[in-house]
Structure 1
Amino acid sequence: MRPVSNVFALIFACFLVVACDQSGPIKIGFIAGLSGPGSDTGTDALNALKLAAQQVNNDGGINGRMVEILPRDDEKSPEVAQQHVRELSQLGVDAIVGPIISSIGMAILPVINELGIVTVSPTVSAAEFAGFRDYLFRMNTTTRENARAYAKRSIELDRKRVSIALDGQNEAFADSWYREFLLEFEELDGRVISKNWINTSQASNADIARQLVDDAPDAIVLVANSSDSANLALEIRKLSKDIPISAAEWAGTDLLIEIGGTAVEGMELVQAYDRYDTNPRFQQFVADYEAMFDRHPGFSAVLAYDAATVLFTVLKTKHPDQKLANAMTDLPPQMGLHQELKFDQYGDGNRDVYFVTIQNGKFIRVK
């Protein structure tokens, strides 16, 4: 039998561990692609989270506890992302922000549900995430709303025969986007005449561009990240100077213009924020972000900052006995950088969206 004194010592030690845990930093994991093509969205989101954490810490933290960010690069690998979730769980994170792409969201969903870790994704949008009560909370509009908006826009512009390129490295998003686009497009008497996957074979961008152009479509739609969309546009313009090109919302970062140059002039795409919004809250965020990182925030930065706003507010205001997941859905609407932020009963959010076109190297909102 264990001596009573040892039992009391053990209980006291456990009490000290709990007490220290409650007075230590609030640990927030971050998972996104931070290397390779398309990593600008992950980097922008991480920067915004760091900015939000610094601002909270400068104001005394969350109930006196400092916020510590633990970033991890998912390398666009489902296995790597799953390992990171388990590692962050062992490190005792209070929540995770991320991932950025839907394929990684699909990969980690079973793991975060198994471990019970609240995970707030700024950007994942595959429609298959919506309508389920789990530990994944989404800030973004789904592919159902976005892709169908593209379909309607194409018909409005009399682009009834289109070729599409889809990124196989983010198949969960690309396939969901394509199916939602197709449902609406065919309902409106449009037709997809060519469907081409990229990043799934040894086919070069030049080969893919040729396949997209060969059937003389009315327009080409690129469902890929910013760098891949830009590089495809460069190859398409070698074959056709005039064919209209649209890109899915995922491509809408400054890197698209930096790489694409004149090849992306006139390209249309949806944005999840208005980069020219004059409201003081947004303008202050832009100024703070640029001062801290010497770059303009992209869409993933805006959504990640909104994600941090909600998460930090919940951590600060929830009852100690309330589960974080329940507190997330119970939270009243919070003012974000552009709009009110609120999760429904399933942890799904929504965004206002805007069509923009690239003119003279800038994203200009379509009126």
Structure 2
Amino acid sequence: MGNSGLFVGRRVVRRWAAAIGFLGMAILPACTMQPEPIIIGFIGGSSGRVADLGIAGRDAVQLAVEQRNQAGGVAGRKVKLLIRDDQQNPEVAQRVMRELIEQGAVAIVGPMTSAMAMVTVPIANEARVLLVSPTVSTEQLSGRDDHFFRVASSNHASARRVAQYVLQQSGRQRLVAAHDLSNMAYSESWLAGFGAAYVDGGGEMLPAIGFRSGGEVSLRQLARELLASKPDRLLIVANSVDTALLCQQLRKLGSRLPIVAAEWAATERLLELGGKAVEGLLVGQSFDRRSTAPRYQALREVYLERFHREPGFGGVLAYDAANVLLDALSQRQGTQSVKEAVLKVRRFEGAQAPIVFDDFGDVNQGVVMTVVRDGRLVVLK
């Protein structure tokens, strides 16, 4: 071979070497590249007057996602959580719901109140993106074949149990209720379930008084209106802040009447704001504060260490809702939707008890009666 041939041969070898090197550089990132994260969302009211429930939910979902990522993620993919504050405002809730969908959320934990669910569920249905709510319990969303699931029982089941307990303890008394119209989807359906059971059991329901949280009517005026009907017992269907402050006004007016509250009020904020005024307050909950379940005890320990407060019913149920989604996503097969994956599994392990969905994404959890005693919510036997 002459010099010219040798030169050409070397040039060909160099070209092949360069090509192979380039190919190797192209393949290397592909081999080491991490798969795209799977995106889920959280929507809840974490600012404003009644932010305690939304904050508990937000923190619990964040904790569940962090734990899942530390354990390897979902089917080898990390989970990315997008958090949105609905501010308990319907327009904001609709806007942030669309934002989560546009940014690729395959499923969403939330919202935390029935009022926000009523304006976001239609958007979820249109986009076919599953919402799993920790705490929404309005009857208006029961028994529907839609993209809304929940891990808490519906209002009528829990409210009826509370009414039956009150009748067993106190007999046939005259009862008057105050209910928050700013979350009407919750308060009216809870009150309807309670009232029906209370009247069926022989009790007398006086005309209820509606009010709006933070509205023009003062809670002192509301307290006077409640007492003017000469009831034997009072019922408050409202958030923790208004329940605590209304109890204070009732006690300042000299009333020592027994008071019942709906589960919505049963956060740590109720105890902080209510003080002695909420002593003796009776609340029915799906959350058992005395639970010795290992999963709950482990959650409570980590949550306390991380956030320096009790998870409460909002945090525990939000943690459950997040893990329902994460477990379903881990077991999803082929072209299954998230909804189909949840219904395929159907039974999930909750922090305190199993969560079993019916065909419509509803559950039937028990009710635990609690009373405020010495500044704590104590479970009644």
The whole-number CA distance in structure 2 between the counterparts of 1:213 and 1:159 is 18
Q: Is 2:126 the counterpart of 1:114?
A: yes
TM alignment of 1:21-36, pairs within 5 A:
23-36=35-48
Q: 1:74-127 CA distances to partner (integer Å, 9 max, x unpaired)?
A: 111112111111111110101110001111111111111011111100110011
8 Å Cα contact 2:61-2:322 kept in structure 1: yes
Q: CA deviation at 1:158?
A: 2.3
8 Å Cα contact 1:231-1:260 kept in structure 2: yes
Q: Is 2:343 the counterpart of 1:329?
A: yes
8 Å Cα contact 1:273-1:353 kept in structure 2: yes
In the alignment, which residue of structure 2 is the partner of 1:10? none
Match of 1:187 among 182, 189, 200: 200
The whole-number CA distance in structure 2 between the counterparts of 1:22 and 1:113 is 32
Task: Give the secondary structure class of the aligned counterpart of 1:134.
Answer: coil
Q: CA deviation at 1:189?
A: 2.2
TM alignment of 1:149-188, pairs within 5 A:
149-156=161-168, 157-158=170-171, 160-188=173-201
1:60 partner amino acid: G
In the alignment, which residue of structure 2 is the partner of 1:230? 244
Q: 1:336-364 CA distances to partner (integer Å, 9 max, x unpaired)?
A: 11111121111112222200001001111
In the alignment, which residue of structure 2 is the partner of 1:8? none
In the alignment, which residue of structure 1 is the partner of 2:50? 38
In the alignment, which residue of structure 1 is the partner of 2:21? none
Q: Is 2:307 the counterpart of 1:293?
A: yes
8 Å Cα contact 2:348-2:355 kept in structure 1: yes
Q: 1:245-279 CA distances to partner (integer Å, 9 max, x unpaired)?
A: 11101101111010000000000001221112122
Task: Give the secondary structure class of the aligned counterpart of 2:52.
Answer: helix
2:177 partner amino acid: I
The whole-number CA distance in structure 1 between the counterparts of 2:292 and 2:160 is 29
Match of 1:134 among 125, 146, 154: 146
8 Å Cα contact 1:306-1:337 kept in structure 2: yes
Query: Which one is further off, 293-302 or 148-157?
Result: 148-157
Q: 1:15-54 CA distances to partner (integer Å, 9 max, x unpaired)?
A: xxxxxx9921121111111111221011001111011011
The whole-number CA distance in structure 1 between the counterparts of 2:364 and 2:48 is 29
In the alignment, which residue of structure 1 is the partner of 2:210? 197
Task: Give the secondary structure class of the aligned counterpart of 2:284.
Answer: strand
8 Å Cα contact 1:136-1:347 kept in structure 2: yes
Task: Give the secondary structure class of the aligned counterpart of 2:42.
Answer: strand
2:142 partner amino acid: A
8 Å Cα contact 2:179-2:236 kept in structure 1: yes
Q: Is 2:74 the counterpart of 1:54?
A: no
In the alignment, which residue of structure 1 is the partner of 2:332? 318
The whole-number CA distance in structure 1 between the counterparts of 2:220 and 2:236 is 14
Q: CA deviation at 1:169?
A: 1.2
Task: Report % sequence identity.
Answer: 39
The whole-number CA distance in structure 2 between the counterparts of 1:22 and 1:96 is 23
Match of 1:349 among 339, 363, 367: 363
8 Å Cα contact 2:346-2:358 kept in structure 1: no
The whole-number CA distance in structure 2 between the counterparts of 1:276 and 1:179 is 29
Q: Is 2:292 the counterpart of 1:278?
A: yes
8 Å Cα contact 1:76-1:169 kept in structure 2: no
In the alignment, which residue of structure 1 is the partner of 2:90? 78
Unaligned runs of 5+ in 2: 1-32
Larger Rg: 2
Where do 4+ consecutive residues of structure 1 move more than 4 Å? none
Task: Give the secondary structure class of the aligned counterpart of 2:143.
Answer: coil
Q: 1:292-348 CA distances to partner (integer Å, 9 max, x unpaired)?
A: 111111101110111112110000011031111111111142221111112111111
Task: Give the secondary structure class of the aligned counterpart of 2:176.
Answer: strand
Q: 1:2-24 CA distances to partner (integer Å, 9 max, x unpaired)?
A: xxxxxxxxxxxxxxxxxxx9921
Q: Is 2:99 the counterpart of 1:87?
A: yes
Query: Which one is further off, 96-105 or 30-39?
Result: 30-39
The whole-number CA distance in structure 2 between the counterparts of 1:160 and 1:329 is 43
TM-score under structure 1 normalisation? 0.92
8 Å Cα contact 1:159-1:218 kept in structure 2: no
The whole-number CA distance in structure 2 between the counterparts of 1:196 and 1:23 is 55
Task: Give the secondary structure class of the aligned counterpart of 1:270.
Answer: strand
The whole-number CA distance in structure 1 between the counterparts of 2:236 and 2:254 is 15
8 Å Cα contact 1:154-1:160 kept in structure 2: no
Q: 1:123-179 CA distances to partner (integer Å, 9 max, x unpaired)?
A: 100112111110001111111111111221222222521111111110100111111
Unaligned runs of 5+ in 1: 1-20
The whole-number CA distance in structure 1 between the counterparts of 2:238 and 2:158 is 14
8 Å Cα contact 2:163-2:198 kept in structure 1: yes
Q: Is 2:123 the counterpart of 1:124?
A: no
In the alignment, which residue of structure 2 is the partner of 1:3? none
8 Å Cα contact 2:42-2:83 kept in structure 1: yes
8 Å Cα contact 2:134-2:321 kept in structure 1: yes
